Structure 1
Amino acid sequence: MHIQDAIDRVGFGRFQRRLFLLCGITWAADAAEILLLSFALPGVTEEFGLTSGQAGLVVASTFAGMLAGAWFWGIMADRVGRRLGFQLTIAIFAVFGVASAFAPGPVWLAVLRALTGFGLGGAMPLDFALFTEYLPTRDRGRWLVLLESWWAVGTVAAAALALIIMPTVGWRWLLATSAAAALLVLWARLRVPESARYLLARGDVAGASVLVAEVARINGVTPPARPLQLPAGQGAATPGDLLRGALGRTTLLLWTVWLLIGFGYYGIFAWLPQIFADEYGFLRSYQYVFFLALAQLPGYLSAAWLVERAGRKPVLAGYLAAAAVATFGWAVADTSAMVLLSAGLMNFFTLGAWAALYAYTPERYPTQLRASGLGAASGFARIGAVTAPLAGGALLALSLPVALTVFAAAFLLAALAVAGYAAETRGTRLDDTVAERVPLR
């Protein structure tokens, strides 16, 4: 029996719901940890007397660490397993996230945020790789989108924490709050099993069979009676396989899209509190940012509903194009009401696009290279995220409309790349080895 048929048989039940909750809480903590520094940026800038360029470097340090972490932990997870990386990455970001709250100066803050990002960068693709590999084919895309929707929960939590903490005890307590929660997540992660698909792709039929039977027991169904089928070409693959043949063309497309959406999204969101405070005179209490973050939730839910009906490709391309239109609308808005409407729509469509991309990417790689492929792709989003705060500072020095127009162009280019070159994956079976993988037409 093919491993996907076995997972389809045991279905979506108590085991997957537990894993969804654990990965989701981790994902929310990841989002909060990333965005809290942006919300804390006015306080950091004031305390350390930073210029806009120096503040951009501090923000970019987290994403530089995430870039290294995504590439390193993606490769490691395909070599030593998902479970070990699943635990180590959360430990790294929790410890150094808390430590960054005690930074004595901007250099130390940047170093500690880079180390925090090294853990974050690995935790994010590993969550999706592990969850994907235990999902039945039916509604797989919907559940992956819903997992990504925890990002909005983390964003809302970060904005709410900023609303409460920044006016009272300051940015240091703000950074410490979210990272401390990750220590509790680490305790729960210690009981997460290895991926059965990963074990089978490595040739461990007995180990994979035991895990599938355990998932069936937890879900309250009868385990598959037929033995698992060893996939063709099992064993180790190399990261170089990501760039060979049809898989190489897929990889280049995904790297392009991840780079562009990362540049556009982080270029805007890293400076959002500062933009509202400086450009429009909105309160520094983050009330407006909090309400904008709420716009992300219906963006995710609409994408979750559409991704199994319309397919991954039209949802991803359509939401990226709509994000470009909304961002440009913000650039030309001339009233506070239009600013909030355009910015809210930008959040709605951008986060829906992120969700579709996170659902689509792991489906395009075999189990042998799923973590490496997802880690490498998300690493390109971090390249965009590293350059975006720096570019944002320079572009904002020219004018806000110029900056927003550039970020809108990034979303539009990503939409065109998806529309022109992406293949549909709705309803397809996941592959486990490079040899087993058949290019989608």
Structure 2
Amino acid sequence: MVTTDRLPSSDLEKHLTPSTASSPKSETGIHGHQNGDTNEEVFSIHSAETLAQESGVNPIFVAKCRVLNEAIMELGMGRYQWQLFFSAGFGWFADNIWLQGIAIIMPAVANETGWRPYPHVRMATFALYCGLIVGSTFWGVSADLIGRRPAWNATLVLGAIFGIAAGAAPNFIVFCTMIALCGFGVGGNMPVDGALFLEFLPGSHQYILTLLSVWWAIGQVVASLISWVFLAKYSCDANLVGTVGYICDKSNNSGWRYSYYTLGALMLFLSAVRFFILPMDESPKFLCSIGRDADAVAVVHHIAKINGKTSALSVADLHNAAVPYFRTETDGAQMTTKFSTWELVKLSFKDVSGEHVRGLFKTPRLAWSTSLIIFIYGALGLAYPLFNGFLGGFLTAKNASFGDTSIDATYSAYTYQAACGVVGSILAAGLVQWGRGGRKFAMAFFTIGAGAFLFGLTAARSSRQINALTSLASLFENAFYGVLYAYAPEVFPTPHRGTGDAFASTASRITGLFAPIIAVYSAAANTPDGPVYASAAIFVGTGLVMLLLPVETRGRTAL
């Protein structure tokens, strides 16, 4: 680790005089550069102290973060960021592969003799969400305590190992246990990967975080195609299930198991690519937030090298930017102290008392914003699996009502709607930069639109109508999730970003627990349209709530 000398006490005393302790009259704002093509708000008039107060963080960190943002902006959107786009995308890809993996194979699992039949087999989704809750909380909070890299390197491997184990399960209880453990690993992908990617993006290209959701949609397509291939060839005859003497087991119903083996092997491959071929550095903003300025500078220089550029950033630049906001000698000491790994762990867990939680509610504006984001995540976390989590069963039941019981009819429809999700992610990346609407309008538009198409789906009377409406709903769902998962990390300040993302993701997972309960035990379970209607109503209501968010992040570089 590169270290610097402690600021001499005489120099520190000079910088702590009233005249120098006040905010500078002129400085470039943390929210960075103005985009000449749009009429964006200019933040240069704000001091670091004002921005720190608005965001609930230390002004010393804000001052250093401003310098880091400028250095990353100068390096531009280069090879390093595009490599990270793919590597971070693996996590979003994995998240949806396992979420869709449950929905797709559920009819085949329900057919296994001695296992849970429909609708009780849906409790496997409950098990998955139990794991996701623990995983999203654990990995998200740990990202603020010990850094982004541990979660980054562990989540894909854990999900892959337990996903493969689920495919080998001898009974329903073991299957649910393995699915829950798979969820623990997978749960860390969404709150960590997006936050990390954001912290390496230049402010002019933050909209690309929205495009990261295209990997989520691709994951759905891949899961659909892989499962379709195996289920079509290695599934027992659904028309004979339940008849006297007919046994449905591994010997004639291994398609869903082969699907899980393949998905798990794919995740292991991607984790190896992430670790050995596209390794990541720790976030320079996170390093600055714990006083490791020299390491943060080293990371910026490494980015410059990968991008084929050079950076003039030095530890002195960070130091000089922060000096006007020193209030005590400790402020100067924290900028240059070198900590051992064990000391960093102890310092990190000292903050578990609630500093990162309080930081998300430090000002009324930030508290309102955080509360609304958590509510929105929770509402969508219930609405999405009410439809998508049981889409395989919904399509099977609806197609059967039209006289078509073939597996191809179900999974071709599944694949069509999954492919449309890719288009939705691309549209979202464009709309968030369009006009004055920005992130909030894009989220609300796509969320309300998804609800409208699902309302239409409940009235569908042919396979063709079902395919069209599920495809359009998928397009809009992937679009609003893309915007939301970009917006939330932009609002949460860096020192508390992992915790904020963890809280939001956990809220989504907790409410998702109720989806299988509603789908199994409520009156909505009496018809395949019941859960879809409930999902549509929640989407429309949540879209309206999005318009109440107090912060528009378009054109602003995240702290």
TM-score for the superposition, normalised by structure 2: 0.74
- Matched to 1:380, the amino acid is A
Mapped to 2, the partners of 1:149 and 1:131 lie a distance apart of 14
Evaluate the alpha carbon distance shift between residue 318 and residue 277 of structure 1 in structure 2; reply closer, same or farther with a 3 A threshold. Answer: same
Matches within 5 A, 1:180-259: 180-190=265-275, 191-225=279-313, 227-228=317-318, 237-245=355-363, 246-259=365-378
Residue of 9, 20, 24 corresponding to 2:85: 20
Choose the corresponding residue for 2:407, options 284, 295, 299: 284
Q: In the alignment, which residue of structure 1 is the partner of 2:147?
A: 81
Distance in 1, Cα, partners of 2:549 & 2:91 = 32
Superposed displacement of residue 395, structure 1:
4.7
Matches within 5 A, 1:24-423: 24-47=89-112, 48-141=114-207, 143-169=208-234, 170-190=255-275, 191-225=279-313, 227-228=317-318, 237-245=355-363, 246-281=365-400, 282=404, 283-285=406-408, 286-309=411-434, 310-393=437-520, 394-423=522-551
Q: Distance in 2 between matches of 1:125 and 1:157?
A: 22
Task: Give the letter for the 1:175 counterpart.
Answer: Y
Distance 1:387 1:422, change over 3 A: farther
SS in structure 2 of the partner of residue 332 of structure 1: coil
Q: How many residues align?
A: 430
How far apart in 2 are the matches of 1:113 and 1:202? 36
Contact residue 94 and residue 186 of structure 2 kept, 8 A: no
Change over 3 Å in CA distance of 1:395–1:423 after alignment to 2: farther
- Quote how far apart the aligned CAs of 1:225 are: 4.1
SS at match of 2:547: helix
Check the 8 A contact 1:260/1:414 in 2, yes or no: yes
Q: Is the 8 A contact 2:285 2:296 kept in 1?
A: yes
Q: Which residue of 2 aligns with 1:438?
A: none
**Partners of 1:26 and 1:185 within 8 A in 2:** no
SS state at 1:166 partner:
helix
Letter paired with 1:365 = F
Residue 44 of structure 1 aligns with an amino acid whose one-letter code is V
Aligned-partner Cα distance in 2 for 1:248–1:72: 22
Structure 2 vs 1, CA of residues 171 and 7 (structure 1 numbering), >3 Å: closer, same or farther? same
1:427 aligns with 2:550: no
For the residue of structure 1 that corresponds to 2:448, the secondary structure is: helix
Cα distance in 1 between the residues matched to 2:467 and 2:430: 25
Tell me, what secondary structure is at the counterpart of 1:158? helix
Secondary structure of 1:2's counterpart equals: helix
1:437 maps to none
- How far off its partner does 1:305 sit? 0.7
Aligned-pair distance for 1:387?
A: 1.3
Contact 1:40 1:171 in 2 (8 A): yes
Q: CA deviation at 1:312?
A: 0.4
Deviation at 1:155, TM superposition (A): 0.5
Q: CA deviation at 1:53?
A: 4.4
Counterpart AA for 2:312? P
For residues 422 and 357 of structure 2, what CA distance do their matches in structure 1 show?
35
- Contact 2:287/2:293 (<8 A) preserved: yes
Paired residue secondary structure (2:187): helix
Contact 2:380–2:542 (8 Å) recurs in 1: yes
| Structure 1 gap ranges (5+) | 432-441
Identity of matched residues, %: 30
The offset of 1:2, in angstroms, is 1.7
What do residues 292-321 of structure 1 show as CA deviations (whole Å, max 9, x unaligned)?
111111111111111112410100011111
Shift of 1:396: 4.5
The match for 2:36 is: none
Distance 1:117 1:343 in 2: 26
Aligned to 2:3: none
Distance (Å, rounded) in 2 between the aligned partners of 1:404 and 1:111: 27
Structure-2 change in CA distance of 1:120 and 1:225 (3 Å): closer
| In structure 1, C-alpha distance between the alignment counterparts of 2:533 and 2:160, rounded to whole Å | 36
Residue 274 of structure 1, CA deviation: 1.0
Shift of 1:172: 0.8
**One-letter identity of the residue aligned with 1:99:** A
Gaps of 5+ in 2: 1-65, 235-254, 326-330, 335-347
Q: Do the aligned partners of 1:259 and 1:380 also contact (CA within 8 Å) in 2?
A: yes
**Which stretch of the first structure deviates more once superposed, 288-297 or 240-249?**
240-249
Distance (Å, rounded) in 1 between the aligned partners of 2:97 and 2:371: 30
Contact 1:26–1:182 (CA under 8 A) maintained in structure 2 = no
TM-score w.r.t. the length of structure 1 is 0.93
Q: Match of 1:435?
A: none
Letter aligned with residue 212 of structure 1:
V
Q: Deviations over 1:194-240 (max 9, x none)?
A: 11111011111100000001101111122034623566798954223
CA shift in 2, pair 1:335/1:308, >3 Å: same
Q: CA RMSD in A?
A: 1.9
